[in-house]
Amino acid sequence: MNRLILSGLVLSLAVACHKDKDAAGPMQRAGKHIDNAAEKTKAGLEKAAEKTDEAAHKAVHATGEAFEKAGQKLKGSGGTTTDPK
């Protein structure tokens, strides 16, 4: 009888451990999921920062061009501005 119980116990333990997961508990698995989420968030934030930097450079370039055009128009106005001196 003891042999049958021991055989049943060994069989149930073997079946329970057949999964491809390591012997981590629920907290370790949750920690791995949190780590993965943090890595994905980090990658997303880095990509967003790159996109923001690109947009800022484009805005600076566009602003510079607008100031140049405005300056050219002011130069071409032919002395309509008066010198306060």
| Residue 80 lies inside a defined structural domain of this protein | no
What per-residue confidence (pLDDT) applies to 3? 73
Instruction: Supply the DSSP string of 22-58, one letter for each residue.
Output: -S--HHHHHHHHHHHHHHHHHHHHHHHHHHHHHHHHH
Q: Which structural domain range is residue 55 located in?
A: 35-75
pLDDT in tens, 30-78: 999 999 999 999 999 999 999 999 999 999 999 999 999 999 999 886 5
Q: How many domains does the chain have?
A: 1
> Around Cβ 61, how many Cβ atoms within 10 Å?
10
Contact status, residue 32 vs residue 24, Cβ threshold 8 Å? yes
| Residue 12 lies inside a defined structural domain of this protein | no
pLDDT in tens, 9-33: 666 666 555 555 566 788 999 999 9
Cα gap 68→62, rounded to integer Å: 10
| Residue 23 lies inside a defined structural domain of this protein | no
